[in-house]
């Protein structure tokens, strides 16, 4: 099985940038501790205010999907949904 990379781009609703940032930071540490998580980092776009990017690296597709039902994942979704204007998620595999 190849490693899976997740690149998730989130745009905060206007006026919700700092609140979203605060909530996103909370999910990083618990996610790093998940089985199969190799890397889980949060970035902020330097050119577009309120745009955040998660870069995640997982051992397998199964490892990516397993945390969706954990308490911290459920809380993350509940807290961030009202703050997000748009979300684009790419599941990637290295070609070379």
Kindly report the average pLDDT of the chain as a whole number: 94
- In Å, how far from its chain's centre is CA 95? 22
Burial class (CB in 10 A: 0-12, 13-18, 19+), 57: middle
Domain span at residue 15 reads 4-92
* Chain segment 19-40, per-residue pLDDT in tens: 999 999 999 999 999 999 999 9
Q: What was the pLDDT predicted at 67?
A: 75
Single pTM value for the model: 0.91
The total number of structural domains in the chain stands at 1
Q: What was the pLDDT predicted at 94?
A: 87
The domain that contains 16 carries what CATH number?
3.30.70.100
Residues lower than pLDDT 70 in the chain: 1
């Amino acid at each position: 099985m190849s490693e899976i990379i997740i690149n998730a781009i989130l745009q905060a609703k206007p006026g919700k940038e700092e609140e979203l940032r605060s909530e996103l930071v909370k999910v990083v540490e618990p996610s790093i501790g998940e089985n199969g998580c190799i890397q889980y980092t949060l970035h902020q776009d330097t050119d577009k205010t309120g745009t955040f990017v998660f870069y995640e690296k997982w051992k397998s597709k199964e490892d990516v999907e397993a945390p969706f039902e954990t308490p911290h994942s459920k809380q993350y979704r509940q807290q961030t949904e009202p703050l997000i204007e748009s979300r684009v998620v790419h599941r990637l595999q290295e070609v070379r």
